[in-house]
Structure 1
Amino acid sequence: MATFRVRVIAALSLPPALVATGCTGGGTDSGTSLPEGRQVLTQASAAMRPVKSLGFTLDTEGDPPVAVKRGDIKLLKSGDAQGTLQITQGGQPIEISFVLVGQTVHYKGVTGGYQRLPRAMVAQLYDPSALLDPERGVARLLTAATGPKTEAREKVDGKDAYRVRATLPKDVAATLVPGVTADLPGQVWVAAADHRPVKLRMEMAGTGGAGKSHVTVSLNEFDANYKITPPK
Structure 2
Amino acid sequence: MSARWLSVCALALLTSCTSGGDLPDGATLLSKSAESMRSVKTVHFTIKVDGELPDVPVKDADGDLTATGESKGTAKVTFGGQLLSVEYVLTGGNLHFKGPTGGYTTLPAAFAGQVYDPSAILNPDKGVAKVLASAKDARTKSSGDVSVVEATVPGDVAAGLVPGISADVKSTFSIGGDDKLKSALFELPGGQKVDIGLTDLDKPVTVTAPA
Question: So what's the TM-score if we normalise by structure 1?
Answer: 0.77
**Partner of residue 64, structure 1:** 52
- Measured against aligned partners, the alpha-carbon deviations of 1:139-194 in whole angstroms (never above 9, x if no partner) come to 1110100100001136xxxxx21111100111111111111111111111111x20
The equivalent position to 1:132 in structure 2, one of 122, 131, 156, is: 122
Distance 1:30 1:168, change over 3 A: farther
- Measured against aligned partners, the alpha-carbon deviations of 1:103-156 in whole angstroms (never above 9, x if no partner) come to 1110001210111001133357865433212222111110100100001136xx
- Measured against aligned partners, the alpha-carbon deviations of 1:20-79 in whole angstroms (never above 9, x if no partner) come to xxxxxxxxx743321010011011111101110101111133x13131111101001110
**How well do the aligned residues superpose, as a CA RMSD in angstroms?**
1.8
CA distance in 1, matches of 2:70, 2:49: 24
Contact 2:67 2:123 in 1 (8 A): yes
1:188-207 matches, cutoff 5 A: 188-191=173-176, 193-206=177-190
Letter of the 1:129 counterpart:
S
Report which of the two has the higher share of helix. 2
**Partner of residue 223, structure 1:** 202
Contact 2:137 2:151 in 1 (8 A): yes
Distance 1:93 1:125, change over 3 A: closer
- Measured against aligned partners, the alpha-carbon deviations of 1:67-109 in whole angstroms (never above 9, x if no partner) come to 1111101001110100011012344321110000111110001
1:77-156 matches, cutoff 5 A: 77-123=67-113, 128-153=118-143
Letter of the 2:26 counterpart:
G
- Measured against aligned partners, the alpha-carbon deviations of 1:4-29 in whole angstroms (never above 9, x if no partner) come to xxxxxxxxxxxxxxxxxxxxxxxxx7
Letter of the 1:67 counterpart:
P
CA distance in 2, matches of 1:80, 1:152: 34
- What is the percentage of aligned positions where both structures have the same residue? 38
Letter of the 2:41 counterpart:
K
SS at match of 1:132: coil
Letter of the 1:56 counterpart:
F
The equivalent position to 2:35 in structure 1, one of 16, 26, 46, is: 46
Distance 1:135 1:73, change over 3 A: same
Distance 1:225 1:50, change over 3 A: same
More RCO (CA 8 Å, sep 6+):
1
How many residues align structurally? Answer: 192
Question: So what's the TM-score if we normalise by structure 2?
Answer: 0.84
